[in-house]
Structure 1
Amino acid sequence: MTMRIDPISRAYEAYKSQKVTPTKKINSVSSKDQVEFSSIAKEFGSVYKMALEAPEIRKDKVESLKEQIKSGTYNVKSEEVAEKIMSQFDIKG
């Protein structure tokens, strides 16, 4: 009668007979993780912060303007628009 050795048993015996050597302990690293944001991410963050700090929308004024635009009675003087734009950049005409 022949005794058959299971291949899994042989693999187990091979691993069991290997000599295990302890690993060396690694000293903890004293440096800290750092994150650096791109200029686009920084700009987005500042725009987002400004949006959060912006005053709430005046719904009554928005509705009034919508009605004026819809009815064709909304008129803006181009000089006023230009002055407002220039004032944003401290440009005097």
Structure 2
Amino acid sequence: MKINNFGTQGINPYKNSVNKINAANKTEAAKGTDKVEISAAAKELQQVSQISSERAEKIEALKKQVQSGTYEVKAQDVAKGIVNFYSKN
């Protein structure tokens, strides 16, 4: 008895499903892209964090000077700071 596969040659259901998935992925990728915009307020906050890191470094240096006993207070600078503070208010 001879069996012929009429109509089923070249059909691979797995390959068809893979092709459908690949086609769907291509259309999703082509649809659109994400876009991020940073507001001016956020940029300003980033700069503030940079300033605060510089300030933290200065504070650490001052702490080391105080702990080692090498920190000297300049009376004239303190007096100028006090006068400037109260003259603005």
Shorter-normalised TM range:
0.3 to 0.5
Structure number with higher helix proportion? 2
* TM-score normalised by structure 1 residue count: 0.35
* TM-score normalised by structure 2 residue count: 0.37
